[in-house]
Amino acid sequence: MKFKNINKFVQEKNEKKLMFTAGPASLLKENILSLNSCFGRGDNEYLIKEKFVLNKILKLSGQENIARMQGSGSLALEIMAINFLYGKVLIVDTGYYSDRLFYLSSCAKKNFKNIKKINKIHWSQIDKFSEKYDWIFACSTETSCGLKIPIKNLYKLKRRCKARLMLDATASIGLEKNHELSDVLGFSSCKGLFGLTGACFVAFSTKPKNEINSFYMNIYSHLNKKMTGPYHIIYSLYDVLKNHNDFVESVKINKKIFLKKMDQFLSQPLDNQPNLCTHVNKDIKAKNNKVILYEPRNNIGGSVVCHIGEVHLGRKAKGKIIESLRI
């Protein structure tokens, strides 16, 4: 494939599938053009680009350290739970993905013995809660129901509980503000970072205290790069992160247009609306078989529509993709 045809190639691919899913987003030419042969040791060209990518992601996370690894966001979350959590842990209940946080924490408690107690609190009750805990573990953007808990609110909870804050930032990194208010966060490459699938990251400012009797699940194995890393995924992010703000703007444009069109069906107030997705109290259908709708892993009724299907258009996005939905 000649480079001069890359724009046409990407356009054709994105016209064949109209994506309303939570990630990966539409295909970007930057994902493709950045790819190259690579190796994680002795390949200076790759190492320079990896350093650039990780520094960009660190800036988005607001943290001091970052580990990259092959795997989904769930791998990052499990490694966080095992390496960092101890004592009393409070899970903020937002839905399906917070249930996963509870499960991962329970597994860490059973297998590694550092956690003493795990409790839940519904997200609507956090403003008045102040009991002492060691850790707060929360999903700041819950795609299963199109809910955002502002990270500032979780930070206030952390302060009242005299705890540390751990975030599932899979659906918020790159798209929402204030990740620097957390102490540890995990996320993947393919949502708000707009990379290909297959890499995940743990960013943190507080050091892990737990001693872990495992090679792969020990975060230091990944920090010290003791196994093959997600080299090609890192490459896929290199050119994307140079112009990340342009791609984020396409998400915001689509979100704004969709909110205006569906304002009478919104299930969440505006303060709890994430940029990535919207839940509406209405069944939305596709007008044709090109449309790929998001299917949440739980069923709460209505529809969740995600807004990264025009990311390839950047600031030129106009929400035209929404016309392919039967509303």
- Each of the 327 residues of the chain gets a pLDDT tens digit; together they read 455 689 899 999 999 999 999 999 899 999 999 899 999 999 999 999 999 999 999 999 999 999 999 999 999 999 999 999 999 999 999 999 999 999 999 999 999 999 999 999 999 999 999 999 999 999 999 999 999 999 999 999 999 999 999 999 999 999 999 999 999 999 999 999 999 999 999 999 999 999 999 999 999 999 999 999 999 999 999 999 999 999 999 999 999 999 999 999 999 999 999 999 999 999 999 999 999 999 998 888 999 999 999 999 999 999 999 999 998
- In order of start, what are the domains of the chain with their CATH numbers? 3-31+243-326 (3.90.1150), 37-241 (3.40.640.10)
Those residues whose C-beta lies under 8 Å from the C-beta of residue 305, and which sit 6 or more positions away, are 20, 258, 277, 278, 280, 284, 293, 294, 325
What DSSP state is assigned to residue 37?
-
Dihedral (C-alpha) 249, 1, 190, 111: value to the nearest 10 degrees? -170
* pTM of the entire predicted model: 0.95
Q: Report DSSP letters for 59-124, one per residue.
A: HHHT-SEEEEEES-HHHHHHHHHHHH--EEEEEEE-SHHHHHHHHHHHHHHHHH--EEEEEEEEGG
**How much is the pLDDT for 73?**
97
**How much is the pLDDT for 242?**
96
Cβ atoms of 222 and 76 closer than 8 Å: no
Distances (CA, A) of 265 to 281, 298, 304: 5, 20, 12
**How much is the pLDDT for 162?**
98
What DSSP state is assigned to residue 215?
S
What DSSP state is assigned to residue 134?
S
**How, if at all, do strands 184-188 and 199-204 pair?**
antiparallel
Instruction: Take residue 199 and report the two structure tokens written for it.
Output: 């890499």
Residue 88's Cα: distance from chain center in Å? Answer: 25
Measured between alpha carbons, how far is 237 from 13 in angstroms, rounded to an integer? 19
The residue written with tokens 């342009």 in the block is 246
Measured between alpha carbons, how far is 36 from 231 in angstroms, rounded to an integer? 9
Measured between alpha carbons, how far is 233 from 190 in angstroms, rounded to an integer? 9
**How much is the pLDDT for 1?**
45
Those residues whose C-beta lies under 8 Å from the C-beta of residue 245, and which sit 6 or more positions away, are none
Dihedral (C-alpha) 193, 199, 205, 208: value to the nearest 10 degrees? 160
Residue 268's Cα: distance from chain center in Å? Answer: 20
**How much is the pLDDT for 3?**
58
Measured between alpha carbons, how far is 33 from 319 in angstroms, rounded to an integer? 25
